[in-house]
Amino acid sequence: MERLQGESGWLHALAKSELHADAEKLLQWGSSFDPQQLVEESTVVFLAELRNFFQEYARAFNLHSENGARFQEVKVYAIAQTASDFMLFRNQIKLVFSNPAHGVIQIAYAQHIRHRLTVNGQESVPELKSGQPQELTAQLGPFRDVFWSFQGEKVSAEQVAKFYFVEFVQITREHKKSKVGNQLLLDQIKALLQEKGLDL
């Protein structure tokens, strides 16, 4: 019953149309079906679900960082002047979730790299380097339901968020290690051994 109460907006609309059946005929409510609008609404909802999962995962993950003392935290930011686009950020690497076209959610990594070249005596601006983006696409089902797919397979927001959160943490961790060298790795091994009650 609780599930029905949470998803019953359509039932209320149906009951209202039953009370005002003549007005509905004049205004043609319920008879018009706009698949484009359904996909647009689903895009906003799916991106919001993704962002909620990422915020939840980042909050739990960041608890172990002790305010950035043990490792760099994962941040989740909204992208300005967009309806629902957002990104994850850590160690100068971004993972961007955006809606560049109708029925498409694009997932792309990006990194700022500062070049030391100078032009007319001034240092060049950072160049945004990005990898090949991946895409989720909307599919319209037989009963006016919209579902999202990756490479032809149906996916949920939770599946996508778990996969990309793990991948993002691993990629940003490796990037950080390559910058600071092997000493960080040795310190991490020592800390793990000490936590388990072992000494070198």
- Which tens digits make up the pLDDT trace of 64-75? 888 777 888 999
Amino acid at site 173: R
Quick one: angle between helices 157-180 and 35-62, nearest 10? 50
- More confident of the two residues 4 and 104: 104
| CA–CA gap between residue 145 and residue 167 (Å, rounded) | 30
- pLDDT tens for 17-54 read 788 777 655 555 544 568 888 999 999 999 999 999 99
Most confident option among 58-62, 141-145, 179-183: 58-62
When pLDDT is cut at 50, 70 and 90, the band that residue 62 belongs to is very high
Identify residue 145 by its one-letter amino acid code: D
- Write the DSSP string, 103-140: TEEEEEEEEEE----EETTEEPPPEEEE---EEEEEEE
Tokens for 140, please give them. 């319209």
